[in-house]
Structure 1
Amino acid sequence: MISWRKLFSSFMFAFAGIFTTFKTEQNFRIHTIISVIVITTAIALDFSSLKLIILLIVIGLVLALELINTAIENTVDLITPEYHLLAKKAKDAAAGAVLVFSIFAVIIGILLFIEPLMNSINNMKQ
């Protein structure tokens, strides 16, 4: 049987993690703000459903990776507050994962936006 109280608590803990990360992590705030701007622009450019779905998946993955990166960094700091080479490697690898996917997200964004932006610019010239 489903425990609705436990389920509700699980969601509340998850939202608390998102809000805490937003408050404490500059990169997560930057990704979130850029995401809102990108989604708003996509809607203004009348993206197709498929393009919007692709965009939302990519944005969701960037934000999720940033949350995972924060969790890894906090866990490493909890385990070993002093400098340790393996701790540095773990934190750098987690940050690197976010960077790699963010680079691909930008490339995907350019591919999704280039045609609608060019059409919009051409329409303004006419």
Structure 2
Amino acid sequence: MHPFFKSFHYALKGIQHGFSAERNMKFHCIAALGVIFGGVLTGLSKLEWLTIIILIGGMIALELMNTAIERTVDLVTDDFHPLAKQAKDLASGAVLVFAICSAIIAMIIFIPKWL
């Protein structure tokens, strides 16, 4: 079982690196704290909390994957290559799509509570 538990250690190191070194991860975490604070103030239902938790977890996981892709591309080549740029742009695009969808869902949840 030792290698199994060691994999958790490596995963936690990756998460720690993402939080400490990535500007966008910091932004997402601040936004998540704002959403959680808003959820506490507005009294979200259990289903709304589940939705928010999935969105926050998905956003953080996707940002970590984006960072991993960027690091891998940077490791493979120092030169400009159109495919390397596409890989980075596609990964960033995936984060943006999820962020927009998350914002829309947050509006669907929160706007009726504010009105």
With the length of structure 1 as denominator, give the TM-score of the two structures.
0.88
**Identity percentage of aligned residues:** 44
2:21 aligned residue (19, 24, 44)? 24
1:74 aligned residue (71, 80, 83)? 71
- Partners of 1:58 and 1:21 in 2: how far apart? 18
SS at match of 2:73: helix
Equivalent in the alignment of 2:99: 102
Equivalent in the alignment of 2:32: 35
With the length of structure 2 as denominator, give the TM-score of the two structures.
0.96
TM superposition shift of 1:23: 1.1
What are the ranges of 5 or more consecutive residues in structure 2 without an aligned counterpart? Answer: none
TM superposition shift of 1:7: 2.1
SS at match of 2:114: helix
1:12 aligns with 2:1: no
The superposition leaves residues 41-96 of structure 1 with CA deviations (integer Å, 9 ceiling, x where unpaired) of 10221100000101111111111110000000000000111111100000000000
The superposition leaves residues 3-34 of structure 1 with CA deviations (integer Å, 9 ceiling, x where unpaired) of 1x222211111111011011111001100111
1:111 aligns with 2:108: yes
| Number of matched pairs | 115
2:84 aligned residue (80, 83, 87)? 87
- Partners of 1:43 and 1:59 in 2: how far apart? 15
Runs of 4+ in 1 over 4 A off after TM superposition: none
What are the ranges of 5 or more consecutive residues in structure 1 without an aligned counterpart? Answer: 119-126
- Partners of 1:79 and 1:24 in 2: how far apart? 20
1:53 aligns with 2:37: no
Query: Which letter does structure 2 place at the counterpart of 1:66?
Result: E
